[in-house]
């Protein structure tokens, strides 16, 4: 879908989701995926990219270069990195 804030799309493309999911072959699917090894992550997952995009769209107006944001419960860290 379209981004209201083009920087959201740029940020998401700049951080390779492949490094944050268990099965790299499916990293670019718009679906939630398991994190790490099954025994390490206790069934945790990374949300689908469209959900991360929606969250970042809401945050975009408040974020500025050099700004700080506290992300509680991010899980994989992918959205925080974006």
Q: What is the pLDDT of residues 1-42, one digit of tens each?
A: 567 788 888 888 898 988 888 788 888 899 988 776 655 556
Q: What is the pLDDT of residues 30-79, one digit of tens each?
A: 998 877 665 555 677 888 888 888 988 888 888 887 877 777 766 777 77
Is residue 47 flagged as an active site residue? yes
29, 45, 47, 76: which one is catalytic?
47
How far apart, in Å, are the Cα atoms of 6 and each of 18, 57, 74, 79?
Answer: 22, 9, 22, 16
Distance CA 79, CA 15 (A): 9
């Amino acid at each position: 879908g379209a981004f209201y804030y083009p920087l959201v799309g740029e940020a998401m493309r700049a951080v390779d989701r492949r490094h944050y999911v268990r099965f790299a072959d499916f990293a670019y699917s718009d679906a939630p995926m398991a994190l790490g090894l099954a025994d390490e992550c206790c069934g945790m997952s990374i949300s689908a990219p469209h959900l991360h995009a929606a969250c970042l769209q809401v945050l975009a107006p408040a974020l500025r270069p050099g700004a700080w944001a506290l992300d509680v419960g991010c899980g994989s860290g992918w959205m925080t990195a974006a």
